A and B are shown apart, each in its own frame.
Chain A
Amino acid sequence: MTETLLAINGLTKAYPGVVANDDVSFEINRGEVHALLGENGAGKSTLVKAIYGLVKPDAGTMALNGVPYAPAEPSAARSAGVTMVFQHFSLFDALNVAENIALGMDHPPKMTDLAARIRDVSQGYGLPLDPDRIVGDLSAGERQRVEIIRCLLQDPKLLIMDEPTSVLTPQEVDILFATLRKLRDEGTSILYISHKLEEIRALCETATILRLGKVVGGCDPRETSAGDMAEMMVGSALKVPSKPEATTGDVRLSLTGLSAPAPHAFGTALRGITVDVMAGEVLGIGGVAGNGQDELLLAMSGEMPVNPQMIRLSGKPIGDWAVNTRRAAGLLAAPEERLGHAAAPVMSLTENAALTGTTRKGLASHGMINWARARAFAEDIIRSFDVRTPSAANAAQSLSGGNLQKFVIGREILQEPDVLVVNQPTWGVDASAAAAIRQALLDLASGGAAVIVISQDLDELMEISDRFAALNQGELSEPRPAKGLTVEDIGLMLGGASASEGQSA
């Protein structure tokens, strides 16, 4: 089958300061899995939003089945047979599965009929779902099922999937791929967006590669090496972090039966986390989103105080210490969410430097902040970590994700921590910034600090960790040396439980 389903011709969309899509043209054939490949910021999201009717292109045309196609809004796209599974933001936590699905349909049947159809279709595709459950209680994988079932109930001709595997365990990825292959065999086309090359090689027949908004090439991923595709995607060779052999010292941080209730209704409780982290080592903590990563970071940073004995810093019980007391003692942290948690969006970089640096950098005396020193600290971070910004007076939100992340990590590293805990240090960051951040973390560890990296990116963890452990529903697995771990080992560590859930739910 090589019949064209969707033809995109000269699509262009500009935002202030950036051309997200620049004269993009390609075709998707009927019954194929077509990969859209590119780095963060390459324009993949804008392109699929145009196809789904969420963004109006400035120029260019599309044709679906040879008929001009210009959806004014998502419902027009849906009625033309185009549906989409989102990466973020399309589920309502407080509503149940059936209600969530009904909201994504233009002519939903009655609720009782819908519930029955959800059961049928979800069983049929091997993705079982209970229509009455509240979505906020579901795991990341189950939430994605809700979105997929929502699309399948509308008999789509084209199914768009935006980074679908970033929230899944390897076992869940296998289930998803089986479903997608079944759909393809039934004649549905799939536009599959990802930057994970191995996945694309395993699943897709065709790939279009975007870089900085432009199509830079296409290939058959089954016959192209991951290295060649990466080169097309990035445009230059990458600097792989150098991992020196770790020489570990004394125990810097030890967690003993760290437990805490979920801090909010949709949070995860921590359950008996026990681990020691030595000076000079990087402990990588993997896990699928929503398994207690945020809560673990809050417990370490001091935003969520726990029983004093549960956390000990160089032997001292500190579980109930306040945030800045921990900083003074040498335990620093960098949370996942850059804008709004690690940094205040509308405040300047100088003010954001003072946000965590006041205690260790002596930026205040007698309660008065010395803004000149805060500014000097901010400029030091900008210089040392190559943060691209006109000046330290610019607002945090004016920086790109990668630059702000370099600022946030740099801010903590320059305070010379004894223990540093980071969550998702390179999430949504371009490849060169990610490499720089990883290198900085490795340098910090080789300088004698204990570093904990919480991440959902397994490649990253394998690259920089000395030991690896996995979080699953608030419990931490026994840490194992990272060297020699296979993908199967990691998969089992990440979620033997959540994989079996797939069959039992």
Chain B
Amino acid sequence: MNIDIAVFLASMMVAATPVIFAAIGELVVEKSGVLNLGVEGMMITGAICGFILANATGSVFLGVVAAAIGGALLSLIFATLTQFLLSNQVATGLALTLFGIGLAALLGKPYEGVRVDVIQPISIPVLSDIPVLGTILFSHDPLLYFGLFIVFAVWWFLTKTRGGLILRAVGESHDAAHALGYNVVRVRILAIMFGGACAGLGGAYLSLLRVPQWTENVTAGVGWIALAIVVFASWKPGRLLIGAYLFGGIGFLQLHLQVENVPIPVEVLNASPYIATIIALVILSAGKSGRSNAAPAALGQPFHASR
């Protein structure tokens, strides 16, 4: 077996992109103190919304926009239930996933097997001609670069801006934030919608790019892996990239091994990303200590402004 290292790294970046989108969105949501387990549902809803619009208009760009809007709209259900009606976040997130999968299956029925035009890679002039590095870094599609940009933007927002400070404060102690006069519910709803839009973009990357035809189970657990990667990353955008690339690398390797007919049962290869995720979670939780790695203190707790 031989793998061109440049092709490997480039493919790894592509495989990691849907996870990056979904995970960076969820990271912001969790930083605000909300646990939304509906990532898988929002992703697949984004995937089908993007697919339908791209198919109808012929514009991949409009498809991507529709995916973000679709994911955000679905997340609004979660936001309403958890922020206004104070429902249990775990149960509501699960419901969102079940609902989203059903919705996508229903909307996608007429499109099964239909293909759309994919986003074309752009070769950044000059830079893409650099040997090796050009292949790895400068010959991708625009959405991949946008994903990296969002990770950077989230890092900048959380660490350098007042909005980010308020968001972190809300996630640490909603009572204290409320006492200082911040609108906890508004901050959280905005965060949840951002998470939904990002998950939708991740879904669109799968349905419009990775697998440019509609298949019912297009996300196949990527949303759940994104949730795991947020934990793995200790809620830090930089480490989130590392986690996503590790996952992308395993995904690419196992596909490659399947194509090469390596004598490992295909089921073992198929299951490897999930097993790897479990192992990563275990290693991380076993070694985790100290405050800087801790989850936001108010994560998953409902907030009701009383007296």
Interface of A is mostly: loop
Q: How far is the CA of A86 from the CA of B176 in the complex (A)?
A: 10
Please choose the segment from B64-72, B118-126, B167-175, B267-275 that sits at the chain A interface, where 4 or more of its residues have CB less than 8 A away: B167-175
* A256 interfacial contact with B, CB 8 Å: no
Q: How far is the CA of A99 from the CA of B176 in the complex (A)?
A: 13
* B297 interfacial contact with A, CB 8 Å: yes
Q: Is the CB of B291 within 8 A of A136?
A: yes
Q: Is the CB of B179 within 8 A of A90?
A: yes
Q: Is the CB of A93 within 8 A of B307?
A: no
Q: Give the residues in chain B near A104, CB-CB below 8 Å.
A: 180
Q: Is the CB of A92 within 8 A of B181?
A: no
* B294 interfacial contact with A, CB 8 Å: yes
Q: How far is the CA of A61 from the CA of B182 in the complex (A)?
A: 24
**CB proximity of B294 to chain A, nearest CB, Å:** 6
Q: Is the CB of B162 within 8 A of A108?
A: yes
* A346 interfacial contact with B, CB 8 Å: no
Contact residues of B between 282 and 307, Cβ < 8 Å to A: 290-291, 294, 296-297, 307
* B187 interfacial contact with A, CB 8 Å: no
Please choose the segment from A47-55, A302-310, A409-417, A477-485 that sits at the chain B interface, where 4 or more of its residues have CB less than 8 A away: A47-55
Query: Given that A46-B307, A265-B290 are contacting pairs, would A89 and B179 also be in contact in the complex, using a CB cutoff of 8 Å?
Result: yes
Select from chain A the residue with minimum beta-carbon distance to B183.
A73
* B281 interfacial contact with A, CB 8 Å: no
* A74 interfacial contact with B, CB 8 Å: yes
Q: Is the CB of B181 within 8 A of A86?
A: no
Bitwise, A73-113 to B at CB < 8 A (1) or not (0) is 11100100000001001111111000100111000100000
* B81 interfacial contact with A, CB 8 Å: no
Select from chain B the residue with minimum beta-carbon distance to A134.
B291
Q: Give the residues in chain A near B172, CB-CB below 8 Å.
A: 92-95
Q: How far is the CA of A90 from the CA of B179 in the complex (A)?
A: 6
* B165 interfacial contact with A, CB 8 Å: yes
Q: Looking at the complex, which one of A49, A78, A93 makes contact with B173 (CB distance below 8 Å)?
A: A93
Q: Give the residues in chain A near B169, CB-CB below 8 Å.
A: 92, 95, 99, 103
Q: Is the CB of B291 within 8 A of A49?
A: no
Query: Given that A94-B291, A94-B294, A104-B180 are contacting pairs, would A15 and B166 also be in contact in the complex, using a CB cutoff of 8 Å?
Result: no
Q: Give the residues in chain B near A55, CB-CB below 8 Å.
A: 307
Q: How far is the CA of A94 from the CA of B162 in the complex (A)?
A: 16
**Range of interface residues on B (Cβ < 8 Å):** 20 to 34
Q: Is the CB of A74 within 8 A of B180?
A: yes
Q: How far is the CA of A134 from the CA of B172 in the complex (A)?
A: 13
Select from chain A the residue with minimum beta-carbon distance to B290.
A265
Q: Give the residues in chain A near B179, CB-CB below 8 Å.
A: 54, 74, 86, 89-90
Q: Is the CB of B168 within 8 A of A95?
A: yes
Q: Give the residues in chain A near B165, CB-CB below 8 Å.
A: 95, 99, 102-103
Contact residues of B between 172 and 202, Cβ < 8 Å to A: 172-173, 175-177, 179-182
Q: Give the residues in chain B near A89, CB-CB below 8 Å.
A: 173, 175-176, 179
Q: How far is the CA of A93 from the CA of B166 in the complex (A)?
A: 14
Select from chain B the residue with minimum beta-carbon distance to A53.
B181
**CB proximity of A161 to chain B, nearest CB, Å:** 14
Q: How far is the CA of A265 from the CA of B293 in the complex (A)?
A: 11
Select from chain B the residue with minimum beta-carbon distance to A73.
B181
Q: How far is the CA of A49 from the CA of B290 in the complex (A)?
A: 36
Q: Is the CB of B162 within 8 A of A102?
A: yes
Q: Give the residues in chain B near A266, CB-CB below 8 Å.
A: 291
Bitwise, A41-78 to B at CB < 8 A (1) or not (0) is 00001100100011100000000000000000111001
Q: Looking at the complex, which one of A86, A108, A265 makes contact with B294 (CB distance below 8 Å)?
A: A265
Q: How far is the CA of A91 from the CA of B173 in the complex (A)?
A: 8
Q: How far is the CA of A55 from the CA of B305 in the complex (A)?
A: 10
The winner among B173, B179, B290, B294 for most chain A CB atoms within 10 A is: B179
Q: Give the residues in chain A near B180, CB-CB below 8 Å.
A: 74, 90, 103-104
Query: Given that A91-B176, A103-B180 are contacting pairs, would A15 and B307 also be in contact in the complex, using a CB cutoff of 8 Å?
Result: yes
Select from chain B the residue with minimum beta-carbon distance to A54.
B179
Q: Is the CB of B166 within 8 A of A49?
A: no
**CB proximity of A266 to chain B, nearest CB, Å:** 8
Q: Give the residues in chain A near B181, CB-CB below 8 Å.
A: 53-54, 73-75, 78
Q: Give the residues in chain A near B291, CB-CB below 8 Å.
A: 94, 134, 136, 265-266
Q: How far is the CA of A180 from the CA of B275 in the complex (A)?
A: 61
Select from chain B the residue with minimum beta-carbon distance to A84.
B179
Q: How far is the CA of A136 from the CA of B297 in the complex (A)?
A: 12
Q: How far is the CA of A95 from the CA of B173 in the complex (A)?
A: 11
Q: Give the residues in chain A near B182, CB-CB below 8 Å.
A: 103
List 26 contacting pairs A-B, 8 Å CB cutoff, sorted by A.
A15-B307, A46-B307, A53-B181, A54-B179, A55-B307, A73-B181, A75-B181, A78-B181, A86-B179, A89-B173, A89-B176, A89-B179, A90-B180, A91-B176, A92-B172, A93-B173, A93-B297, A94-B291, A94-B296, A94-B297, A95-B172, A103-B180, A108-B162, A136-B291, A265-B290, A266-B291
Inter-chain pairs besides A54-B181, A91-B173, A103-B166, 12 sampled, C-beta below 8 Å = A73-B181, A74-B180, A74-B181, A90-B176, A93-B172, A93-B297, A94-B294, A95-B165, A95-B169, A95-B172, A103-B177, A103-B180
Using a CB–CB cutoff of 8 Å, the interface residues on chain B facing chain A are 162, 165-166, 168-169, 172-173, 175-177, 179-182, 290-291, 294, 296-297, 307
